Structure 1
Amino acid sequence: MKKIILAGNAITADILLFYLRQDSRYQIVAATVDDGFEAAGNIDEVPSIPLSRLASEFAPGEVLIIMAMGYNDLNRDRASLFERLRAKGYALESYIHPDARVYSVNPIGEGSIILPGAVVEPHAQVGANTMVWCNATLAHHCKVGDNAWIASGAVISGQAVIGANTFLGVNATVVNKVSVGDFNVVGGGALITKDTKANTVHLARSAEELRYSADDYVKFFGV
């Protein structure tokens, strides 16, 4: 059984803790965060250790790290802690949930996470420190860069490329052979059909309120 330190102690860590406690491959022993954030999170019965004290309590060879941070500042915070942990000599575990389906022969990037229901098709590539949330689809020959966040239900079509530090929202779709630039924000439900530039934002139009009441709509149009 692998001894695990969670890098993070907030909501993402709380979700990962639930999955990991049901996975016989792992034993969660602590969480680590930047100094001063030990009390900011709240994960059940897992002590938070400031990064400055981590090596004195758990030597790099004793534990593995699972990245358990969110996507704050376009994943820059996540990337920063990832690199600092590596510099201290810690190994970053690539966590694939047992209910994920990974068919690619390409290794999942260091420190990346593939959650239940996600599908990674043949020849797809996932970079380091990337989160692939539940029920996302990474189609054949696509490439996802480092420090990316792929939210639940997102679809990356065949041969598409997702740049580093990009956030792809819930149910967003990137069509075949399209490249999404680094540091993009692609909102929930957005459809990307053309290449995008770095550091750009792409949002789907929000659903507008109709002039009909719900009762009138059902009466005249059905559901």
Structure 2
Amino acid sequence: MKSRWVIGGSPYLDLAFHSWKQARPDEKVVRIEVPQGPDHAFDLSVLAGLDPAEGAMFAAFDERFGNLKRMELMQAAVERGFKLEPFIHPSAAIGADTVIGLNAFVGANAIVGHACRIDYNTVVHAGAHLGPNCRIKSSCWLENGVQVGTAVEIGGNGIVRTGAIVRDGVKVGRSCELGWPRVYAADVPARTYYDTRYDQPIHTYGQ
């Protein structure tokens, strides 16, 4: 029996583990929590002894640190020669010609319209709705129930929180957070943060 190692941390690790376990009863699905030190660096020694020829791996870590810690785990898996696949929940509705990248996650009852592209390492949580021809770039995080219109583009490392509605054709720049529960009807510049703790968006400039 092939193994499926689900590695990482945060509550998302448990979600990904149980999702894989339910969807792949023919596999031995193993949960591996990767410890972090005081500086948040991963202790990757827990991966020692795993043989890439004996199974595949899935990296699961939440949106903290701008989705970069999940990317770090994915890169560690690739460097060690592990095969990575996307997870698509059996109840998700995926349109024709949609492309979903490695280590991406599409949750229960999500709807992804035709001709969408969801890049690697992106998480689309349960009940999210993406219209046709969307482009969700790498390492994004779309929370439960978000509504994304037709031909929307969300830049890499973006976060879209529950309650957000993104209108058709809107372009959201890289490393943005749409955290206010509102309709976003205009393009959003890169590194703009709508944080519910503040009553004005935060703009970060420079490289």
Q: Please give the TM-score of this superposition, normalised by the length of structure 2.
A: 0.85
Instruction: State the alpha-carbon separation in 2 of the partners of residues 173 and 205 from structure 1.
Output: 19
CA deviation map 1:100-141 (0-9, x unaligned): 111132321111010101011101110000000000011100
Please say if 1:29 is aligned against 2:21.
no
Question: Using the alignment, how far apart are the partners of 1:136 and 1:121 within structure 2?
Answer: 11
Structure-2 change in CA distance of 1:120 and 1:78 (3 Å): same
Letter in 2 for 1:202: Y
- Measured in 1, the distance between the counterparts of 2:2 and 2:147 equals 32
Residue 17 of structure 1 corresponds to which residue in structure 2? 17
Separation in 1, partners of 2:2, 2:162 = 31
Note the residue ranges of structure 1 that are not aligned, 5 or more in a row.
38-48, 207-223
**C-alpha distance in 1, partners of 2:107/2:76?**
24
Q: 1:170 aligns with which of 155, 159, 162?
A: 162
Cα RMSD of the aligned pairs, angstroms, is 2.4
- Given the alignment of the two structures, is residue 194 of structure 1 paired with residue 186 of structure 2, yes or no? yes
The Cα offsets for residues 28-63 of structure 1, whole Å up to 9 and x where unpaired, read as 1241525659xxxxxxxxxxx95224242x111212
AA aligned to 1:118 is A
CA contact (8 A) 1:32 1:50 kept: no
The offset of 1:205, in angstroms, is 9.3
Distance in 2 between residues matched to 1:18 and 1:202, nearest whole Å: 31
Aligned counterpart for 1:183 among listed residues 175, 182, 185: 175
Matched, 1:51 2:48: no
Q: Distance in 2 between matches of 1:63 and 1:177?
A: 40
What CA distance in whole angstroms lies between the structure 2 residues aligned with 1:82 and 1:190?
A: 32
Which residue of 126, 133, 143 corresponds with 1:141?
133
Contact 2:180 2:194 (8 Å CA) reproduced: no
TM-score, normalization by structure 1: 0.79
**Structure-2 change in CA distance of 1:106 and 1:192 (3 Å):** same
Conserved 8 A contact 1:32-1:51: no
131-140 vs 22-31, which deviates more? 22-31
Q: CA deviation at 1:20?
A: 2.6
